[in-house]
Amino acid sequence: MTYFLALLAIVGWGAAYFAWTRREQYVIAPMQDEVPVDIAPDNSATLDVLNSLRLGVVIVAANGEEIFRNVAATEVTGMRHADVLVDEVVERLIRAASVGNAGSEQIELAGPPQRVLDVRVTPLAEGGSIATIDDITERWKLDQIRTDFVANVSHELKTPVGAISVLAETIEGETEDELVLRLVRRMIMESQRMGRTIDDLLELSRIEMGGEMLLAPIDLNDVAQEAIERAQPIASRQGVSIHFESKTDQRTINGDYFQLVSAVSNLVDNAVKYSNAGGEVLVTTSSNNDDVEISVQDKGIGIPMASLERIFERFYRVDRARSRGTGGTGLGLAIVRHVVTNHGGEVNVRSREGEGSTFLLRFPRISVPK
Amino acid sequence: MDELRKGFHHELDVARKDLARLAAAVIEAIPRATTILLNGDLDGANALISDDDRIDALSVDLEERCYQLLALQAPVAGDLRQLVAIVKMVGDIERSADLTVNICKAARRVYGHDLDPRLRGLITRMSEQAQQLFSAALESFEENDASKAAAIDDMDSFLDGLQREFMRTIMEENSGSHIDLQVAIQMAMVARFYERIGDHAVNIGERVQYVVTGWLPEHKGAARYKQGIPRPNDDTGAIPIVLEDN
pLDDT 10s digits, A320-346? 555 555 667 788 899 899 999 989 999
pLDDT 10s digits, A99-156? 888 899 999 998 788 899 999 999 988 888 999 999 999 999 998 888 888 888 888 7
**Cβ–Cβ contact B145 with A under 8 A:** no
**Cβ–Cβ contact B138 with A under 8 A:** yes
In this complex, the residue of A81, A304, A355 whose CB is nearest that of residue B243 is A355
Ordered by where they begin, the domains of chain A are 37-135 (3.30.450.20), 144-364 (3.30.565.10)
DSSP B112: T
CA angle A307/A309/A314 to nearest 5° reads: 85
Q: Where are the alpha helices (DSSP H) in B112-180?
A: 117-143, 146-175
Chain A's closest residue to B117, CA to CA, is A354
CA A231 to each of CA A55, A263, A348: distance values in angstroms, whole numbers, following the listed order? 49, 12, 21
The interface residues of chain A toward chain B in range 349-368, judged by CB-CB distance below 8 A, are 350, 352-356, 358
Evaluate if residue A234 carries a pLDDT over 80.
yes
Evaluate if residue A277 carries a pLDDT over 70.
yes
Of A107, A112, A85, residue with least CA distance to A305 = A112
Of B89, B216, B207, B76, residue with least CA distance to B145 = B207
Report pTM: 0.79
Mutation site, B124, B141, B169, B242, interface A, largest A CB count within 10 A = B124
In this complex, the residue of B35, B116, B125 whose CB is nearest that of residue A306 is B35
At B60, give phi and psi (nearest 5°). Answer: -60, -45
**What per-residue confidence (pLDDT) applies to B238?**
52
Measured distance CA(B181)–CA(A359) in Å, rounded: 36
Measured distance CA(B68)–CA(A269) in Å, rounded: 66
Tens digit of each residue's pLDDT, chain B (246 residues): 456 678 888 899 999 999 999 999 999 999 999 999 999 999 999 999 999 999 999 999 999 999 999 999 888 888 899 999 999 999 999 999 999 999 999 999 999 888 888 899 999 999 999 999 999 999 999 999 999 999 999 999 999 999 999 999 888 877 777 778 888 899 999 999 999 999 999 999 999 999 999 888 777 777 888 888 887 765 555 554 444 443
- What mean pLDDT comes out for the span A214-235? 92
ipTM score for this prediction: 0.81
Query: Phi-psi region for residue B177, left (φ > 0), alpha (ψ -120 to 50) or beta?
Result: left
Of A270, A280, A267, residue with least CA distance to A240 = A280
Q: Work out the percent of chain A whose per-residue pLDDT is above 90.
A: 36
Q: Work out the number of other CB atoms within 10 angstroms of the CB of residue B66.
A: 23
**What per-residue confidence (pLDDT) applies to A30?**
39
Of A233, A224, A248, residue with least CA distance to A296 = A224
**What per-residue confidence (pLDDT) applies to A31?**
40
Of A116, A53, A61, residue with least CA distance to A85 = A116
Measured distance CA(B129)–CA(B164) in Å, rounded: 14
The interface residues of chain A toward chain B in range 80-119, judged by CB-CB distance below 8 A, are 80-82, 84-85, 88, 109-112
Ordered by where they begin, the domains of chain B are 6-226 (1.20.58.220)
